[in-house]
Structure 1
Amino acid sequence: MGRLPEAPLLLLVVTVSFLTGPDVHAGKILVFPVDGSHWVNMNLLIQNLHAKGHEVTVVRTATSWYVKEHAPHYRSITVTLPQAIVIEEEEFFVNFLMKMLEIKKEGVSPIGFMKFYWEMLNALSNIHQQASRLGVEILENRTLLQSIRDSRFDVVLLDPGLPVGVLVAHELKLPTVFNVRWITSGEGHFVVAPSPTSYVPTSGFAATDKMCFSERVKNMLFYFLNTCIDKLVVCPHYDRLVDKYFGPDVKFYHLLQGADIWLMRVDFVFEFPRPTMPNVAYIGGFQCKPSIPLSPELEEFVQSSGDHGFILMSLGTLVKGLPTEITSEIAAAFAQLPQKVIWRHTGERPGNLGNNTLLVKWMPQNDLLGHPKVKAFVAHGGTNGVYESIYHGVPVIGIPLLFDQFENVLRLEARGAARAVDATALTRQNFLEAVQDVLHNPSYRSNMRRLSALHRDQPLRPLDTAVYWIEFVMRHKGAAHLRTESYKMPWYSYYSVDVCCFLLAVLLILKAAVVGSVWFVCFRLCRRRKPKQE
């Protein structure tokens, strides 16, 4: 056959592309991220949106820790705040961790614990108060606001951990997409979907979906506590802004619950089953990808492990490291292993470090987890690391330290793919025993490989799912048909308290009518019998 002329060939390619994919035009996306480890997820999503031809603009503060002002895949709007958001300061998490470990290890008096808890609530309030200032700076700056409006964005993509972007989206009358796991009151499902506390563990309470009576009591108390903190500590900062700029008819929580699409960083391979809603798309593990070859130096170190393989250890992005008395015990345990160890560590060099252990300030975690010689992953239980270990089928030795890490490690333990070690009770003996158990008991690896097979068996990659739904909202100017309006109902209507009261009233009236009728008939009969007897 002869070669097709270039013009008809080009026409054929264009025609096929229109027939095989949805009509997606390059759009404009306004992004409100959360700094720290949350930015790792958001940045990956932004890179893929940029690669598909979309124009992305990121709103950041001048003191942003991870979110850079200049990047090839987005342009930025930098807002200067009177005070840096505490969450953008790495030292905040280090100090918080030290206090938590001290309380758990040595214990404190009830007064001391209440003082710490009060300080924590004040810190939480300050974080959201500072974050709300970002909304003030944008809404008060008419020049900036008009510039944003003139850009004619199609959608607002935001992380609702700091939900100030919800207010800006409402001002601009733009649809919103949440890149979410955590929200002001805890786990995102508790805001968007029914979450029965009888079998859905509450944020902050490490339990499975099979709870005994006492666990269900604790779960209810945690739910009540989370709700009180949200209503009394967090939301008032945003409520004031809503009242000021949008009037009393608009409610902040309604704006929060009214997002068009929730891109939930959850996979039910890892999460316990729970109710959901049609505007929730699950993208758990969307940051995972096949590994690529290591650098020559790392590959040489890994190959030197021989048949024993190597162990990976990382405590994530928000914590510099554990106290030296704990890291020294970990190092001493590692020194007794035949495996090589690659340890991401940025704190003080631990004592008792063996020749088999390599300390690095940064490492290609995904590529190391995908290496055929990796045997186990010692991790703090952060969501990113957990999903990467699931994706590559690597069992975990968990050392949970903060926030949801205890719940994450528990979920892996419940599936037989991890073993937890309490950081405050860690010794070289019990840590070594835990590592050896995971290394030599084949059930941990087989269970994790089963989770990996389930996680990978999806019709679309989680990242493609995320991009699809963002483009869906852009194409259709929102997704109101997928969103329930139940959040606008008063609580007594949502829980059908008014209906139950009405039915109960009807029942009582019928009962009273029946009893009254019977009493009346009996009374008449008695009246008739008395004259006959006389």
Structure 2
Amino acid sequence: MLRVCGIFALFSLCLLFLAPPCSGGNILVFPVDGSHWINMRIILEELHARGHNITVIRASSSWYIKEKSPLYSSITLEKEEAIEDFFDAFIKEQIKVQREGASLSSFFRLNKDFLSMITHAHVLWCNATKDVFENESLVKQIFDSKYDLILTDPAMSAGLVLAKYFNLPVVLNVRWITSGEGHFVLAPSPLSYIPVPGSGLTDRMNFIQRLKNIFFLGIIKFQQWVMVGPIYDEFCSKYIKGGCDIVSLLQQADIWLFRSDFVFDFPRPTMPNMVYIGGFQCKPAEPLPADLEKFVQSSGKHGVIIMTLGTLVNALPKDVADEIATVFSKMPQKVIWRHKGDHPSTLGNNTLIVDWMPQKDLLGHPQVKVFVAHGGTNGVQEAIYHGVPVLGIPLFFDQYDNLLRLQERGAGKIIQLSDFSGHTFEEGLKDLLHDSSYRQNIQRLSRLHKDKPMSPMDQAIFWIEYVIRHKGARHLISEAYKMPWYSYHSLDVLLLLLAVLMVLLYSIYAVFRFLCCRRKRKTKTKQN
């Protein structure tokens, strides 16, 4: 009996040592709603499973972020206006303008509408966050809670201002910031081979394309300095002693959990506090519901095409939906199409319309041959993870740039709305179905993505817990954020060197002139 008890005690001790350490941190979360929340929630599920205490700051008009959850407690801020209706109108206008065709006027209309929508969203979030600073009991509650860090998505940067006010370490769940892609505010970004978001360029640019790249950088700088920056400058000056600057707050963040990787993105310079977690939300496929599995298996040797344009697009224009349905009806494949609008009149018997689909489980099914998608980051990364080629119909934001990266690697094709027709859609589908190189290329990307010493999710959790254990990661933060722009680019040094060179050249010129004049005077004296 004693021997059995001894073995049991030894076994229990081994389990104790094998269990991963859990610091049980106290984490304040300031997320962004919509598809960004889907990403954040996946991280919160893992943090909760590891014993961390989580508090989420949400808006009263939130789309997806529930007030009550087994994962977290919440602090609800009153928001004067829901952005959802405004955003829905913006999407419809974007689709309408794109369908009119590519032109200079449509380009400026699209960018004007985009900047107006983004500015409006930032104003709403700043107004909602004022409730925290002006509520003394809430301020005391947050101070008394002694949070270890704030985990925030800097696409809306009010969370950074809160971190500054409460003097908390910052971990960013990030790809986008207030003025575009996050790398451009933290890491060196030579415009000769790093494409600016929205430019539609790759890392191989000729002279005209590099000129275009600089133009698009100008749009990003205009967005930060003229449209968005002043909103936060006013916000900071009112609530932060001495004021603050959003760009500097971004550069001071302890860890950037960056939702990308270099299987997907073009190679570029980075920084030591940037941790790449692209595809962290991807998981192996689970069995489909019985009715869906039956439909998929009925496709036989031809397989299945799946189509979804994301959570934000409820319905395409009727004529576009009818053309898509007509093309699908001609295909020997079965089709599963997430579509919330009226059913197209040309819908074929091979097409199943659904309000929702288990996207990752379908992408991981061996019968799925092609993924028709809008090019959102989540969908593209899941397609890479499961090795399914993508026919992309980009609608707005980063979607064209995401799909371009797949197209450049031979793993997908793009059809822009301005070029969309039944013919181009059918040709695109046939190319991906019958040219095996697309599937081979994306399966190669899938193998590269999975061949890592640590999963992206484990990386994310490790670095969050690292910040908790060490109360920040200041040793990984560059001092560049303290430097004025002219010092960062060494313009002051270049000007000094240029001045020294000019003085030196002028001195040489003056000496030669003096010697020449002296010689002329001597010659003239001798002649006289």
C-alpha distance in 1 between matches for 2:219 and 2:331? 44
Select between 366-375 and 424-433 the one with higher mean Cα deviation. Answer: 424-433
Mapped pair 1:173 → 2:167 = yes
Residue aligned with 1:134, SS: helix
AA partner of residue 7 (structure 1): A
Mapped pair 1:348 → 2:342 = yes
1:119-158 correspondence runs (5 A)? 119-158=113-152
Residue aligned with 2:337, SS: strand
Q: Deviations 1:76-134 (Å, cap 9, x if unpaired)?
A: 111112333x2xx1x43432232223223235997887667545433322111111113
C-alpha distance in 1 between matches for 2:257 and 2:168? 17
- The answer on whether the counterparts of 1:32 and 1:59 sit within 8 Å (CA) in structure 2 is yes
Residue aligned with 1:166, SS: helix
Compute the displacement of 1:429 (Å): 2.3
Which residue matches 1:266? 260
Which residue matches 2:55? 57
AA partner of residue 408 (structure 1): N
C-alpha distance in 1 between matches for 2:106 and 2:52? 52
- The answer on whether the counterparts of 1:340 and 1:357 sit within 8 Å (CA) in structure 2 is yes
Residue aligned with 1:389, SS: helix
Compute the displacement of 1:197 (Å): 1.4
Q: How many residues align?
A: 526
AA partner of residue 55 (structure 1): N
Residue aligned with 1:228, SS: helix
Which residue matches 1:404? 398
Residue aligned with 2:171, SS: strand
Select between 344-353 and 288-297 the one with higher mean Cα deviation. Answer: 344-353
C-alpha distance in 2 between matches for 1:466 and 1:326? 40
Compute the displacement of 1:5 (Å): 4.0
1:286-325 correspondence runs (5 A)? 286-325=280-319
Compute the displacement of 1:475 (Å): 0.7
Which residue matches 2:217? 223
Q: Which of 433, 443, 457 is the matching residue for 2:451?
A: 457
AA partner of residue 216 (structure 2): F
Residue aligned with 2:266, SS: coil
Unaligned ranges ≥5, structure 1: none
C-alpha distance in 1 between matches for 2:105 and 2:392? 31
C-alpha distance in 2 between matches for 1:256 and 1:428? 45
C-alpha distance in 2 between matches for 1:338 and 1:112? 38
AA partner of residue 35 (structure 1): D
Residue aligned with 1:378, SS: strand
C-alpha distance in 1 between matches for 2:416 and 2:460? 35
Mapped pair 1:34 → 2:23 = no
Compared CA separation, residues 379 and 198, structure 1 to 2 (3 A): same
Compared CA separation, residues 64 and 273, structure 1 to 2 (3 A): same
Q: Which of 187, 202, 205 is the matching residue for 2:196?
A: 202
C-alpha distance in 2 between matches for 1:506 and 1:28? 56
C-alpha distance in 1 between matches for 2:391 and 2:103? 32
Which residue matches 1:505? 499
- The answer on whether the counterparts of 1:62 and 1:78 sit within 8 Å (CA) in structure 2 is yes
Compared CA separation, residues 16 and 288, structure 1 to 2 (3 A): closer
Which residue matches 2:326? 332
Compared CA separation, residues 109 and 378, structure 1 to 2 (3 A): closer
Which residue matches 1:82? 80
- TM (norm. structure 2) is 0.95
Compared CA separation, residues 443 and 116, structure 1 to 2 (3 A): closer
C-alpha distance in 2 between matches for 1:69 and 1:249? 32
Q: Deviations 1:455-494 (Å, cap 9, x if unpaired)?
A: 1111110011111111111111111111112122111111
Mapped pair 1:94 → 2:88 = yes
Q: Deviations 1:439-467 (Å, cap 9, x if unpaired)?
A: 01000000011111111111110011111
Identity percentage of aligned residues:
51
Q: Which of 12, 15, 33 is the matching residue for 2:14?
A: 12
Compared CA separation, residues 180 and 439, structure 1 to 2 (3 A): same
C-alpha distance in 2 between matches for 1:112 and 1:210? 26
Residue aligned with 2:312, SS: coil
Compute the displacement of 1:257 (Å): 1.9
Q: Deviations 1:186-218 (Å, cap 9, x if unpaired)?
A: 001011111111111111111111111111111
Mapped pair 1:70 → 2:72 = no
AA partner of residue 42 (structure 1): M
- The answer on whether the counterparts of 2:35 and 2:311 sit within 8 Å (CA) in structure 1 is yes
Unaligned ranges ≥5, structure 2: none
AA partner of residue 378 (structure 1): V
Compared CA separation, residues 511 and 493, structure 1 to 2 (3 A): same
Compute the displacement of 1:394 (Å): 0.3
C-alpha distance in 1 between matches for 2:322 and 2:418? 13
C-alpha distance in 1 between matches for 2:439 and 2:105? 45
RMSD: 2.0
- The answer on whether the counterparts of 2:236 and 2:243 sit within 8 Å (CA) in structure 1 is no
Residue aligned with 1:433, SS: helix
Which residue matches 1:377? 371
AA partner of residue 299 (structure 1): E
- TM (norm. structure 1) is 0.94
Residue aligned with 2:256, SS: strand
C-alpha distance in 2 between matches for 1:237 and 1:106? 33
